[in-house]
Amino acid sequence: MENGHYYSFFYRDRVMPDNSTKSVKERFDHGKVGDISERSALRAHGDLRQKINRERGSVPVAPRGETFEDAAKAYIQAIAPHLSISTVRQRESHLRCHLLPRFGKSALMALDVSALQRFATDMLSGTSRKTIINVVGTLFAILDYAQKCGVRTPDVTFSKLTIAADKGDYEPPYFKPEDAKKIVANAKEPYKTIFALAWATGLRSGELLGLKVTDVDFDNCLIQPRKQSDDRTRVLRDLKTKKSKSLVAITPETSAMLTEYLRRHWRENSSGLLFPNRIGRPHKRASVVLYGLKPLLKKIGLPTKDVGLHAFRHGLGTALSNNKVSPKVVQQILRHTDIKTTFRYYVHSDTDSQRSALAALAISTNVPISTAARG
């Protein structure tokens, strides 16, 4: 404090007229005593110190309890119990694989726009835009909680970052209706009914393998998903979202198929699972794909790379859209909270549907195909 004002004094590197660099002492006025509190002045002083340290290439030293690792630990302890298991696992994965290796020992104040932009840019190699957004979202959730706890955090928001759109060179695998028919026709139980129901309902794999017999209303042709199978522990846990609990309509044919499956192939089990394994537990999704789905795909000549049960869900969404089903109905069948998710990730345009669409609008030229080919 000097002359009724709060000041900071720092040395900053300055380029001189002869292009040499010289360390110059500078003074920064934070405000008049009375107009600004001493605590606010100290905070401004700390922010300025961090900024100048970064300019000089210095690594700012984090005050005790203010590293990103400290904030992440506090967040997991306090907030994780209120989140779904799938969300917690996702965020723990983000921390373990991306965030802690990069920012674990960093001061929270060092996580400014520049640092986060470099991080997002470095992730571009081999990482989808959606993954980058999710990882950065986890980081912001931790910073937000730290700020609520009174810890100093940088003034940075998602809108200040630039994240490139996907290049479009990867599309999630999906089955066409004719693919699904071949798969079901060649499958053995219980895979035959699992695959048929996956196509008929678009249920997520965890929901499908976590179904109980009592979840099926045969009289009204409805399925009420209540739990999903955890692929790691095989324990039934809560569904992904509130929208996931929506009733799933099935056709009379699907109801008859399930009735026949229960009569001829179902194994009674203490949990009442619709698709129990040999010891009465939910099937492991990875095992269903490895032993039930991929051998069939190889047999009928379909690609196997990155293909899982979710390909039925993607295929159903695409088939519904290609059959001019209302976008709102497609969203309801897939039980997405946001219709943008339905059409960004679950509706694919194949060349057959493109060709049919063009043929429907074609203008006749009265030129024989053989003649046109020679031209």
pTM above 0.75, yes or no: no
Angle between helices 177-186 and 310-322 (to 10 degrees): 140
Alpha helices (H) in the chain, listed in sequence order: 38-55, 68-79, 85-94, 100-103, 113-123, 129-148, 177-186, 191-201, 205-209, 252-264, 285-287, 294-300, 310-322, 327-334, 339-345, 351-360, 369-374
End-to-end distance of the chain based on CA atoms, in angstroms? Answer: 87
- Give pLDDT, residue 75: 94
The contacts of residue 224 (CB under 8 Å, 6+ apart) are 215, 217, 245, 247, 248
Phi, psi (5° rounding) for residue 123? -75, -15
Cα gap 93→105, rounded to integer Å: 18
Of the candidates 214, 351, 231, 224, which has an alpha carbon nearest to the alpha carbon of residue 286?
231
What is the number of alpha carbons within 13 Å of residue 26 lying toward its C-beta? 13
**Chain-centre distance for alpha carbon 87:** 9
Residues in the chain predicted with pLDDT less than 50, given as ranges, are: 59-60, 364-365, 367, 369-375
Token look-up 């030129």 returns: 367
- Give pLDDT, residue 367: 47
Of the candidates 311, 308, 334, which has an alpha carbon nearest to the alpha carbon of residue 321?
334
DSSP-based three-state secondary structure for 175: coil
Amino acid 253 reads E
**Chain-centre distance for alpha carbon 16:** 50
Angle between helices 191-201 and 310-322 (to 10 degrees): 40
Token look-up 């990069």 returns: 102
Amino acid 41 reads A
- Give pLDDT, residue 290: 94
Q: Tokens in use for 143?
A: 């910073």
- Give pLDDT, residue 372: 44
CA distances from 196 to 95, 272, 312, 349 (A): 38, 20, 9, 22
The contacts of residue 78 (CB under 8 Å, 6+ apart) are 145
Q: Residue 11 in contact with residue 1, Cβ under 8 Å? A: no
Amino acid 164 reads A
Cα gap 348→152, rounded to integer Å: 45
The contacts of residue 71 (CB under 8 Å, 6+ apart) are 108, 142, 143, 145, 146, 151
For 21-30, which contacts have Cβ atoms below 8 Å and span 24 or more sequence positions?
Answer: 29/5, 30/5, 30/6
Cα gap 84→74, rounded to integer Å: 17
- Give pLDDT, residue 275: 95
Q: Residue 175 in contact with residue 350, Cβ under 8 Å? A: no
- Give pLDDT, residue 271: 92
pLDDT tens-place string over residues 39-74: 888 888 877 777 776 665 554 455 555 789 999 999
CA distances from 186 to 199, 281, 294 (A): 15, 25, 12
Cα gap 191→233, rounded to integer Å: 21
